[in-house]
């Protein structure tokens, strides 16, 4: 692919940022309050809009309900539009209520299952009102001890609940089903892997697809192969990008393993699956700044994608056919080792943007302005509002 073709593809890439990445959030050990961090959903949207302004490629923001609940959705819709962005995925929250200790849609008690389902249905309505086309579902459901509950029974409850949810999904909405192999459950998780998620989606129908959160796999998992297989079956809905070294670390995507991110983006580029794939970030920054860490994440995805587009696929195919193992690997390396910074600088210059959006943020006085206006929110109040 020549530079102009790569630039056209890069210009079309849109990355969604999460509202929950802009407030004070952290690990289960401590949340360090950040000066200027967003204190409520209106400010979280302002920060997402700033990231879009500086990167030119983040026109949507994902919401988490009830963290982002407001009384007047149409006012929130106006706020988002006025800032030049739109609402992306709506994430129901099925783990933040006292009743969910033994699960939500899989809970043994039908009244808790009803509560969880009603919450999901409410999110479908919120999505409809805000023009969102994605319901992004993650369940913390699982068990922590063998024998705690009936595994097949839990699966049946899950499928029954999701069928009811799916039946209410309007034509324009997709249900993206996320998996995670452990945590908070430590013995069994009800949707632990891509295979279970895919089976569930198959049972539901074509509007249900799998969401791959890059931090949700055991060490050493070949994520790009999962992506390739899901793509082959039309079951890849999108990503929650982040990076991990040990568990679900929610670190800046591409910070631990940029080669993995490149390999994942290459599967997307090879399948030309960009139009049907939701590229979403799901991170929580604790000891680093909120906004510049998000911008760095966006830049890392763009870098990986640019390199993925540079893979000489026809040469690779012919080397593969010859059975030249190292030769084939070197075709990939050649693209991965290319310095794409000049290309990305051109992309940004064509949009009137700084070549380094993190630097633009740091030089632009945005953090100072936010710190003046917002101060440092106490973590208690951040918890209440998040
Ligand atoms: C869970 O670890 C997860 O990845 C899900 O996507 C949640 O919605 C998100 O993080 C925020 O807690
Ligand atoms: Mn996620």
Q: How far is the CA of 192 from the centre of ligand 1 (A)?
A: 14
| pLDDT above 50 (res 383) | no
* Choice from 95, 138, 212, 217 to test ligand 1 binding pocket (greatest atom count within 8 A of CB): 138
| Calpha distance 263→304 (Å, rounded) | 8
Tens digit of each residue's pLDDT (9 = 90 or more) over 227-273:
999 999 999 999 999 999 999 999 999 999 999 999 999 999 999 99
CB 324 within 8 A of CB 316: no
What atom of ligand 1 comes closest to residue 284's alpha carbon? Answer: 11
Tens digit of each residue's pLDDT (9 = 90 or more) over 364-373:
999 999 999 9
Q: Any idea how long the chain is?
A: 386
| pLDDT above 70 (res 58) | yes
| Calpha distance 304→239 (Å, rounded) | 14
Helices (H), the chain: 3-12, 41-55, 73-82, 110-130, 151-167, 194-204, 223-232, 258-271, 291-309, 313-321, 325-336, 341-350, 357-363, 366-374, 379-385
Q: How far is the CA of 172 from the centre of ligand 2 (A)?
A: 22
Structure tokens at 295: 């911008």
Ligand 1 atom 11, closest CA: 282
Which domains, ranges and CATH numbers included, belong to the chain?
3-374 (3.20.20.150)
Q: How confident is the model at residue 27 (pLDDT cuts 50, 70, 90)?
A: confident
CB distance 283 to ligand 1 below 6 Å: no
Looking at the DSSP assignment, which residues form a beta bridge with residue 65?
92
| Calpha distance 6→21 (Å, rounded) | 29
CB distance 242 to ligand 1 below 6 Å: no
Q: How confident is the model at residue 381 (pLDDT cuts 50, 70, 90)?
A: low
Ligand 1 atom 5, closest CA: 138
Ligand 1 atom 2, closest CA: 248
């Amino acid at each position: 692919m020549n530079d102009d073709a790569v630039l056209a593809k890069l210009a079309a890439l849109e990355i969604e940022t999460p509202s929950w990445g802009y407030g004070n959030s952290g690990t289960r050990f401590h949340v360090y309050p950040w000066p200027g961090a967003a204190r409520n959903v209106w400010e979280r949207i302002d920060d997402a809009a700033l990231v879009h302004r500086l990167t030119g490629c983040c026109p949507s923001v994902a919401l988490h309900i009830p963290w982002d609940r407001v009384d007047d959705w149409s006012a929130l819709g106006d706020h988002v539009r006025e800032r030049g962005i739109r609402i992306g995925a709506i994430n129901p929250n099925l783990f933040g209520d006292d009743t969910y200790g033994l699960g939500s849609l899989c809970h043994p008690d039908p009244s808790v299952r009803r509560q969880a389902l009603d919450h999901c249905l409410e999110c479908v309505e919120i999505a409809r009102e805000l023009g969102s086309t994605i319901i992004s579902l993650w369940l913390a459901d699982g068990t922590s001890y063998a024998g705690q509950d009936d595994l097949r029974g839990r699966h049946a409850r899950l499928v029954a609940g999701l069928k009811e949810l799916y039946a209410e999904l309007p034509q324009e909405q997709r249900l993206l089903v996320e998996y995670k192999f452990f945590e908070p459950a430590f013995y069994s998780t009800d949707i632990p892997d891509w295979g279970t998620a895919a089976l569930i989606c198959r049972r539901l129908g074509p509007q249900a697809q799998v969401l791959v959160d890059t931090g949700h796999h055991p060490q050493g998992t070949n994520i790009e192969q999962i992506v390739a297989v899901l793509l082959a079956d039309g079951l890849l809905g999108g990503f929650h990008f982040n990076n991990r070294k040990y568990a679900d670390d929610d670190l800046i995507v591409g910070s631990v393993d940029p080669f993995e991110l490149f390999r994942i983006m290459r599967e997307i580029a090879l399948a030309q699956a960009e139009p049907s794939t939701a590229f979403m970030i799901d991170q929580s920054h604790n000891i680093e700044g909120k906004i510049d860490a998000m911008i760095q994440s966006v830049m890392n995805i763009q870098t990986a994608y640019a390199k993925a587009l540079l893979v000489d696929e026809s040469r690779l195919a012919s080397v593969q056919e010859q059975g030249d193992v190292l030769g084939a690997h070197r075709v990939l390396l050649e693209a991965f080792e290319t310095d794409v910074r000049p290309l990305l600088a051109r992309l940004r210059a064509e949009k009137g943007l700084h070549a380094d959006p993190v630097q633009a943020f740091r030089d632009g006085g945005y953090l100072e302005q936010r710190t003046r206006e917002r101060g440092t929110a106490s973590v208690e109040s951040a918890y209440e509002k998040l």
